Amino acid sequence: TVNDNVDFVSGSTFAAEINGSTVGLEYDQLVVNGAVTLDNATLDLTWGFTPAPGETFTLIDASGGIAGTFAGLLDGDQGLANGMTWQIAYDTGSISLSFVVVPEPASAVLLGLAGLLALRRRRNSV
């Protein structure tokens, strides 16, 4: 917790570990009783577990608001961690990561083949 403003200048890095779902105990969170400015700082995440789909982690919580973005990460941009896709969200007072389910390539191929077989059977029965 910081009781002042925090400015991440270009070239600086915000490093956070995510090893579970409990804030402060299993994953890092910066709480700022002031404003946060992100001037294209780098976000460096270390993952120690695979989060559940839909799970959200608030990395920075700032009562005075957040201005700017991390380098190369605009609102809604996605990344990959432990085989799952995450999405970053910049709200006026927080920065969070949420996770969405992305089928494994093999599963997507099997689903596509099953659809083609079903379509072929339907055409043959008509």
Nearest in space to 88 (alpha carbons), one of 104, 71, 103, 102: 71
Q: Decide: 36 and 43 in contact? Cβ < 8 Å.
A: no
Structure confidence by residue, pLDDT tens digits, 31-41: 999 999 999 99
Amino acid at 57: F
Which whole-number Å values give the CA distances from 89 to 15, 93, 123, in the listed order? 17, 11, 45
pLDDT of residue 52: 84
Q: pLDDT per residue over 1-39, tens digit each?
A: 999 999 999 899 999 999 999 998 999 999 999 999 999
Kindly list the distances between the CA atom of residue 100 and the CA atoms of 26, 55, 83, 93, in Å, as whole numbers in the listed order.
Answer: 20, 8, 11, 22
